[in-house]
Amino acid sequence: MAIFLGSLLLDILGVITAIVVITFAYFKWSFQYWSRKNLPYIEPSIPFGSFPNPLSTRKSLCEILREMYDTARAKGWRSCGVYDTARPAVLIVDLELAKHVMTKDFNHFVDRGQYVNDRDDPLGSHLFAIGGKKWRNLRVKVTPTFTSGKLKAMFQTLADCGVILEKFFQETFEKEESVDIKDVFGRFTTDIIGSCAFGLECNSFKEPNSPFRVYGQKVFNLTKWKILEFAIASNFPALGRFLKIRSVDKDISDFFMKVVEDAVAYREKNNVRRNDVLQLLIDIKNNKEGQEGGYKGDGKTLNMDELAAQCFVFFIAGFETSSTTATFVLYELATHQDIQDKVREEIRTVLAKHDNKITYDSLSELTYMRQVIDEALRMYPPLSFVNRECVEDYKVPGEDLVIEKGTLIFIPIVGYHYDKEYYDNPNKFDPERFTEENKRTRHPYAHIPFGEGPRVCIGERFGIMQTKVGLTSILRNFRVTLNKETQVPLMLSPTAFITTAEGGIWLNVEKV
């Protein structure tokens, strides 16, 4: 028996050794890809490639991308090779090349290269992740949701939520309490998106632990295990699907699927129509989108899984990115009281022309506030990068380089935003960078917080609108200052995919 167990142990050790050797050899071979292509590259290490170990690093994604970009920029590279674990990718440094990838030669870079598992994770097959013909058809159908007419129709929902937000600040002032502004704005945007995407009242201020709030936050609470799963699925999608790895956890998926199914069933049974995202998607599902018919991603109209996935991505993207932007705006205004006073003066001047009411038209007159928002988006872009996947071999203009089909492309937004060639003293908060005159002097791709080209964020105008409503509701009657609980200088979370301040941003509230 002992001899048998000893033999078995040796066999197991032999198998493990073989696996380790094969894996090591695979990585070594993979890491020679850019050498073979004669493209300069950032040195990789096993097993995470050019990136640090996501399970132990204390650097945020913003810091990592900035360091990569600065290294390549200092060496005069237009682009360089990096490795996302074992997968080769191109980091785009030159803004004209970024313009080719995102806009001019978009047909070569239609897809994002996101991991999608239709079978086990239907909510993960949303507009942000899908590619090819399926993405093109759906994008065309969903785009009318964000026309001026549709935004005006949804505006009253935003205004009503702004009243609730202002009331919350009044109560906070009376209680002499500080606020975690990310949490407060998260409730505000959750209520807005919940209504516009699902036609439901979330009541996040009365019920801070409502299911919408809890599950919405859980989407962005990435554990180290989840990060590791994503790394596996992104590099080996077939293995990811075999292991049934999901982008959206099952409990989150079950909740949102039921919400959508119930809302659709109610509207169809009772012939209820509303001016919101859900209604447009229902019309596509029922083939009521004009002569061209419904969405034919796979030769059919939108099914319930696909409909729910679009509602889901609008919800999570809409509430998180806008609350993130507003959080950093208020942090900078709390530390630059002169700029805050200037924003408040503009708000009061503009609203005085509109019966002191926040209206759709009044928001367009808040030009200085938009400069402040743009500067916050420069310094703290919610997404530090966007990615594309080459879908057809691409000859890089002016270079002896062909990017092969299947290669991942990284557009380092945060690198552009802190480049000293485009922004003097980039670590300084200065809204004057975004006057019309100053914007004309810069390359248009030097500021791309929403991405650019045909895959630019579809909800950009909606996001700016709800951010302006929230800021106006607060700043017209209240001053914010930094609370001692806020960590200064800010440290960005190393585990958050969306740019997030470690420990939160806490503010004091004063009446003015």
User: Three-class SS string for 139-204?
Assistant: HHHHHHHHCHHHHHHHHHHHHHHHHHHHHHHHHHHHHCCCEEHHHHHHHHHHHHHHHHHHCCCCCC
User: Where does the pLDDT of residue 387 fall: very low under 50, low under 70, confident under 90, or very high at 90 and above?
Assistant: very high
Q: What local confidence, expressed as pLDDT, does residue 4 receive?
A: 57
User: What is the C-alpha to C-alpha distance for residues 381 and 62, in angstroms, rounded to an integer?
Assistant: 9
User: What is the C-alpha to C-alpha distance for residues 490 and 481, in angstroms, rounded to an integer?
Assistant: 15
User: Strand, coil or helix: what is 77?
Assistant: coil
| 366, part of any domain | yes
Q: Are strands 79-84 and 87-92 parallel, antiparallel or unpaired?
A: antiparallel
Closest Cα to residue 443, out of 427, 419, 410?
Answer: 419
Q: What local confidence, expressed as pLDDT, does residue 22 receive?
A: 80
Q: What local confidence, expressed as pLDDT, does residue 298 receive?
A: 44
The pLDDT tens digits of the residues spanning 495-505 come to 888 999 999 99
User: What is the C-alpha to C-alpha distance for residues 81 and 44, in angstroms, rounded to an integer?
Assistant: 10
User: Of 196-205, 354-363, 482-491, where does mean pLDDT reach its minimum?
Assistant: 196-205
- Helix, strand, coil: what percent of the chain each, to 5? 55, 10, 35
Residue pair 108/130 in contact (Cβ under 8 Å)? The answer is no
User: Strand, coil or helix: what is 455?
Assistant: helix
Which residue range(s) make up the domain with 385?
A: 31-511
Q: Are strands 386-389 and 408-411 parallel, antiparallel or unpaired?
A: antiparallel
The structure tokens listed for 58 are 């204390």
Please tell me the total count of domains within the chain.
Answer: 1
pLDDT, mean of residues 121-125: 89
| 5, part of any domain | no
User: Where does the pLDDT of residue 199 fall: very low under 50, low under 70, confident under 90, or very high at 90 and above?
Assistant: confident
pLDDT, mean of residues 166-194: 92
pLDDT, mean of residues 380-403: 95
Closest Cα to residue 280, out of 110, 384, 141, 375?
Answer: 141
State pTM to two decimals. Answer: 0.92
Dihedrals phi, psi of 47, to nearest 5 degrees: -105, 5
| 54, part of any domain | yes
User: Of 9-18, 26-35, 72-81, where does mean pLDDT reach its minimum?
Assistant: 9-18
336: left (phi over 0), alpha (psi -120 to 50) or beta: beta
b/e code 253-288 from CB counts within 10 Å (16+ = b): bebbbebbeebbeebeeeeeebbbbbbbbbbbbeee
User: Of 85-94, 267-276, 465-474, 481-490, where does mean pLDDT reach its minimum?
Assistant: 267-276
- The count of other CB atoms within 10 Å of the CB of residue 388 is 26
- The count of other CB atoms within 10 Å of the CB of residue 250 is 12
Cα-Cα end-to-end distance for the chain: 84
**What is the percent of the chain with per-residue pLDDT over 90, rounded to a whole number?**
59
| 487, part of any domain | yes
| 178, part of any domain | yes
Q: What local confidence, expressed as pLDDT, does residue 299 receive?
A: 40
User: What is the C-alpha to C-alpha distance for residues 155 and 462, in angstroms, rounded to an integer?
Assistant: 9
Task: Determine whether 502 is exposed, middle or buried from the number of CB atoms within 10 Å of its CB (0-12, 13-18, 19+).
Answer: middle
pLDDT at 290 over 60: no
| 206, part of any domain | yes
Closest Cα to residue 313, out of 198, 391, 418, 235?
Answer: 198
User: Of 4-13, 223-232, 485-494, where does mean pLDDT reach its minimum?
Assistant: 4-13
Q: What local confidence, expressed as pLDDT, does residue 251 receive?
A: 92
Closest Cα to residue 409, out of 65, 47, 101?
Answer: 101
The pLDDT tens digits of the residues spanning 17-74 come to 777 778 788 888 889 999 999 999 999 998 889 999 887 888 999 999 999 999 999 9
What residues are paired with 180 via a beta bridge?
Answer: 506
The structure tokens listed for 40 are 């300069």
User: Where does the pLDDT of residue 389 fall: very low under 50, low under 70, confident under 90, or very high at 90 and above?
Assistant: very high
User: Where does the pLDDT of residue 468 fall: very low under 50, low under 70, confident under 90, or very high at 90 and above?
Assistant: very high
Closest Cα to residue 377, out of 317, 440, 455, 446?
Answer: 446
| 401, part of any domain | yes
User: Where does the pLDDT of residue 13 fall: very low under 50, low under 70, confident under 90, or very high at 90 and above?
Assistant: confident
User: What is the C-alpha to C-alpha distance for residues 195 and 99, in angstroms, rounded to an integer?
Assistant: 36
Closest Cα to residue 165, out of 459, 380, 478, 507?
Answer: 478
Q: Are strands 87-92 and 506-511 parallel, antiparallel or unpaired?
A: unpaired
The CA-atom distances, in angstroms, between 324 and each of 317, 318, 398, 444 are 11, 10, 39, 23
| 10, part of any domain | no
Q: What local confidence, expressed as pLDDT, does residue 365 receive?
A: 97
Place of tokens 């507009």: 127
Of 44-48, 133-137, 383-387, highest mean pLDDT? 383-387
User: What is the C-alpha to C-alpha distance for residues 443 and 98, in angstroms, rounded to an integer?
Assistant: 11
The pLDDT tens digits of the residues spanning 299-326 come to 447 788 888 998 888 888 888 899 999 9
The CATH code of the domain that includes 106 is 1.10.630.10
Closest Cα to residue 111, out of 407, 444, 313, 447?
Answer: 407
pLDDT at 166 over 50: yes
Q: What local confidence, expressed as pLDDT, does residue 10 receive?
A: 62
Q: Report the mean per-residue pLDDT for the chain.
A: 90
Q: What local confidence, expressed as pLDDT, does residue 9 receive?
A: 67
The pLDDT tens digits of the residues spanning 401-439 come to 999 999 999 999 999 999 999 999 999 999 999 999 999
Of 140-154, 213-227, 440-454, highest mean pLDDT? 440-454
Place of tokens 């208020």: 330
494 cis-preceded (ω within 30 degrees of 0): no
